[in-house]
Structure 1
């Protein structure tokens, strides 16, 4: 079923045609999908690029990132430090680096494979939740992992928990916009995940899954339907995959602005 909706990017609004399909979304840790959730694939959107102009023309310039440990001090390789975040030296944005239990790291609620519903209380339209308000965080159906500071399995409580922990010494972490997420795509890579390696472990699905590919939640809201929100998948070089329904379980990578 095709439907025209107005999609807000935070910069300007554009009318796009979305093709919705009902399918089962598996949770990040396996099992427990939401068969009523809807996915939508948006038209190709070129990822922002950093370019260098020479006498031979304009070419893409790889981004560079500065790594910081969990307390916000410069990361020292080869020691006991763990990278907690990286700063994009082009945009100035600082990005969360996910934990990865599969790489023998201590399991936390920030693991790259855990999925969360979309919910926000910071202005705009509040996203709907698929679990009862106030329900305790559990590992039911593998949706998320309970941890100190985490109350519910949704993006708002994820943000609250990360800010309470003071990741990299900051307490102003937020969901990124789709444009900010697209800026992390490394088009020079020849295989998924199509994201700069400095961002660390990143979950991705085989591109052959088509609209079943899950994405990383963005803050963008579909003004035509309060229950639909955007996401970007690094399983695809174009990143043009949107997981719309707020009751879907998708990945989270937070960002912060400023020094």
Structure 2
């Protein structure tokens, strides 16, 4: 018997196809992840610490900024109150410069990078206070003589006691005129305050007009609203010649381009006084200053709520008066 074997293999005809593995797809990462080794990994969170400002600081001072990111990344600082403070210096050595009375608010940011999340911004604020100006006094006195040069020859053992003329603490008074349309007002370059300029034209700003002290706001009137006067002492420019009515009229008229005028505080009014001169004891840039009566401040007397502080620019004296007294006004506003 003849046995025949059939096809026991593929021989030389292999018709099979090699199967290649499927490529691994690249995952799609979220905004809080990053891709590494074809794996989405979570970005690292970071926080900002160490942003501090003093509670209060004077105009013209600077503060170094040294906040830190927990990821060790460089921070970006931004002034949120550009009218009062600005960021200066190179990256890594930045400072905030205070240049105007008000509130300075600084914000620190860190935007993150490919492996780090952006930090939540943090902020800090500081109240910017005015720098006191000099009194204007440059001479000294003894027990029996005034207007002496402040030296040992004239003062003897009194030298070194800190008379105003000897120390001359503060900054020299410096002012500039601001003109807007037909208005004129005055900026104090040291404190940043802007002051009203009085006139002699029998209109709203006339220096001869007099007003009673009145403030109906119980939060700021010291416990006594004061008195509303008739219209006679301010030339009928107002229906009632009182301090609130006058300030409201200035703001309604957008005097000098501003609508945030107010009565000065006691310290602001006193700081305006130039004791180197009398009648008026005020820088000559302030025109039409009457010396017959005193000027109102917004500050109620702590001793008696029926009185408020006034300043006399005849000789620079300051004292309280009853709120129904008819005095003058020189309005003020904070600088921008």
Which residue of structure 2 lines up, in the alignment, with residue 23 of structure 1?
none
Match of 2:241 among 150, 153, 160: 153
> Of the candidates 277, 285, 306, which is equivalent to residue 227 of structure 1?
306
**In the superposition, relative to structure 1, how do residues 203 and 127 fare at CA in structure 2: closer, same or farther (>3 Å)?**
same
Name the CA distance, whole Å, in 1 between partners of 2:172 and 2:276: 8
Q: TM-score, with normalisation over the residues of structure 1? A: 0.60
State the secondary structure of the residue aligned to 2:235: coil
Question: Which protein has the larger Cα radius of gyration, Structure 1 or Structure 2?
Answer: 2
1:172 to partner: Cα distance: 0.5
- Offset at 1:59? 4.1
Within a 5 Å distance, the mapping from 1:59-208 to structure 2 comes to 59=168, 62-71=172-181, 84-101=184-201, 107-122=202-217, 123-124=219-220, 125-129=223-227, 131=229, 138-139=231-232, 143-147=233-237, 150-189=238-277, 191-205=278-292
Q: Does 1:216 align with 2:295?
A: yes
Q: Which has the higher contact order (CA 8 A, sep 6+)?
A: 1
Determine the C-alpha separation between the residues in 2 that align with 1:162 and 1:181.
18
Distance in 1 between the 2:243 and 2:187 partners?
A: 22
Q: Offset at 1:186?
A: 1.7
Q: Distance in 2 between matches of 1:182 and 1:129?
A: 24
Q: 1:243, 1:250 within 8 Å by CA — same for their partners in 2?
A: no
Aligned to 2:111: none
Listed as ranges, the gaps of 5+ residues in structure 1 are 1-46, 72-81, 102-106, 132-136, 206-213
Q: Which runs of 4+ in 1 moved over 3 A?
A: 56-62
Question: Residue by residue, what CA displacement relative to the aligned partner does 1:77-106 show, whole Å, maximum 9, x if unpaired?
Answer: xxxxx55210000000000000113xxxxx
Map of 1:241 onto structure 2: 318
Which runs of 5 or more structure 2 residues have no equivalent in the other structure?
1-131, 137-150, 152-165
Separation in structure 1 between the aligned mates of residue 173 and residue 187 of structure 2, nearest angstrom: 10
Question: Is the contact between residue 175 and residue 189 of structure 2 (CA under 8 Å) also seen in structure 1?
Answer: yes
- Seen in structure 2, the aligned counterparts of structure 1 residues 225 and 201 have a Cα distance that, compared at 3 Å, is same
Cα separation, partners in 2 of 1:154 and 1:225, compared to 1, 3 Å: same
Q: What do residues 200-229 of structure 1 show as CA deviations (whole Å, max 9, x unaligned)? A: 210003xxxxxxxx3100011124432111
Q: Secondary structure at the match of 1:244?
A: strand
- Answer yes or no: is the 8 Å Cα contact 1:230–1:244 preserved in 2: yes
1:188 Cα offset (Å)? 2.4
SS in 1 for 2:285: helix
Give distance in 2, aligned partners of 1:222 and 1:62: 29
Where 2:245 maps in the other structure, the secondary structure is: helix
Please provide the CA RMSD for this pair: 2.4
- Give, in whole Å, the separation in 1 of the partners of 2:307 and 2:168: 36
Shift of the 180–254 alpha-carbon distance from structure 1 to 2, 3 Å rule, reads same
